[in-house]
Amino acid sequence: MQFNNLDAAVFLRDYWQKKPLLIKNPWESWKNPLDPDELAGLGCDEDVEARLITLSADTWSMEHGPVPEARFGQLGKKPYSLLVQAVDHYVPDVAALIEPFRFIPNWRVDDVMVSYATDGGGVGPHFDQYDVFLIQGLGRRRWQVGGLCDDNSELLPHDDLRLLANFVATDEWVLEPGDILYVPPRIAHNGVAIGDDCMTYSIGFRAPARSELLTHWSEHLVDTLGDDDRYTDPDLVMQANPGEISADAIADLHKMVTDSLLDRAAFARWFGEYSSTPKYPDVDWRPEDPIGLEELREYLTDEEPLWRNPASRFSFVRPSATSLLLFVDGQCFDCTGDMMALAESLCAHERVRIESRLIASDDVMELIATLFNQGSVAFDPDE
């Protein structure tokens, strides 16, 4: 799927992380990519993250999946929403929804959550800490947006849901199939289904918190340091008061900490690995049979394209003009020469055809074989 009337540069300049935007059906040809019954099937799968949110007499309730199939028949006319996370990992047509939004860097993309709601169903007024594009897939939904929220915004008492206690709408739209609503971080919003069979595709983007970065980066550093790396003071002199921690000692101790924290090259490698770790790292996407270089060459010589696994994360850092660090599913690959062209293509496109000159390169073939055998690429998009 592609857009036919969305100017990405204008959107980034005027709206991204600034204000909401209603985008009226910008697709060349909109087609709802997932049937409600298929979504319900995923919601019943014990390996898929799902939630069922119901509203009864102004009381919100949430149940974690897997949702028993019989549960849907018990809901009757009660408004409800089924939310299934990371549907792009399992349904190629849903994964394809991300491609038109690739004007936003890969490392920022989280997943596509899909919701199905009956008449009056929703998740209540709330705010998120990340950007989201809300694509109306089927049916209609009334969206309201409000003001900017923060940690001090009053919430309703609830064990599972973070619902705003005082939501005041400033704008309101009814979205039809193919329409998109962009909502920046911390903007209050509330969506309610109008009629049954309402499906919404939420493309969410990651925004690491400062505390998260500090925690994980420092933990990584600690794991790399040896026990012999200690404070020393061979030039120690007598002090007037032994109770004083001298300015020189503080400076040396501070330098011990900051020298490691401020290593930009080490941080870039760590962040590439950290940010490319799969959303669900315990899921095993490896093929049943590993591929060897000769078999791989046969496939590629027959012009079979490589497809990225929708559940995989690809990004790269360019430390110099002659080298590139490719990050795939938490792994770092040092690339030079022809490997750089391959790495850039894999990061830019969901499907890549390998040039004949690259097929002749053992380094390129070994990289592709590694990615194939760890489940990050395949020759069949449905594998």
- For residue range 84-117, list pLDDT tens digits in order: 999 999 999 999 999 999 999 999 999 999 999 9
What is the C-alpha separation between 36 and 117, in angstroms, rounded? Answer: 10
Question: Nearest Cα to 219, choosing from 167, 169, 274, 164?
Answer: 274
Residue type, 108: R
Locus of tokens 């497809």? 307
pLDDT at 4 over 80: yes
pLDDT at 133 over 90: yes
Please state the rounded mean pLDDT for residues 286-300.
Answer: 93
What is the C-alpha separation between 167 and 126, in angstroms, rounded? Answer: 8
pLDDT digits (tens, 9 = 90+) for 110-132: 999 999 999 999 999 999 999 99
Task: Spell out the domains of the chain, with CATH numbers in brackets.
Answer: 8-205 (2.60.120.650), 211-233+243-261 (no CATH), 293-378 (3.40.366.30)
pLDDT at 81 over 90: yes
Contact between 33 and 27 under an 8 Å Cβ cutoff? The reply is: no
Please state the rounded mean pLDDT for residues 222-233.
Answer: 92
Please state the rounded mean pLDDT for residues 207-230.
Answer: 94
Tokens coding 156: 């309703």
Please state the rounded mean pLDDT for residues 310-332.
Answer: 97
pLDDT digits (tens, 9 = 90+) for 300-313: 998 889 999 999 99
Please state the rounded mean pLDDT for residues 153-158.
Answer: 93
Banded pLDDT at 76 (limits 50, 70, 90): confident
DSSP 243: T
pLDDT at 159 over 80: yes
pLDDT at 383 over 70: no
What is the C-alpha separation between 336 and 316, in angstroms, rounded? Answer: 13
What is the C-alpha separation between 41 and 45, in angstroms, rounded? Answer: 7
What is the C-alpha separation between 114 and 200, in angstroms, rounded? Answer: 6
Please state the rounded mean pLDDT for residues 39-44.
Answer: 97
- Is the pTM higher than 0.75? The answer reads yes
Contact between 85 and 48 under an 8 Å Cβ cutoff? The reply is: yes
Contacts of 42 (CB under 8 A, 6+ apart): 48, 50, 84, 87, 90
Mean pLDDT, rounded, of the chain: 95
Tokens coding 49: 């993250």
Q: Give one word for 303, left, alpha or beta, with left for phi > 0 and alpha for psi -120 to 50.
A: left
pLDDT at 57 over 90: no
pLDDT digits (tens, 9 = 90+) for 237-264: 999 999 999 999 999 999 999 999 999 9
Residues in the chain: 383
Banded pLDDT at 77 (limits 50, 70, 90): confident
Tell me how many degrees the CA angle 125-203-13 measures, rounded to the nearest 5.
Answer: 95
Please state the rounded mean pLDDT for residues 362-366.
Answer: 94
Neighbours of 372 (CB within 10 A): 21
Question: Nearest Cα to 319, choosing from 300, 307, 302, 336?
Answer: 336
pLDDT at 21 over 80: yes
Instruction: Report the percentage of the chain scoring pLDDT > 70.
Output: 99
Q: Residue 192 in 3-state DSSP?
A: strand
Q: Which residues pair with 63 in a beta bridge?
A: 52
Model pLDDT, residue 302: 87
pLDDT at 382 over 70: no
Q: Write the DSSP string, 124-149.
A: -SB--SS-EEEEEEEEEEEEEEEEE-
Tokens coding 311: 């559940």
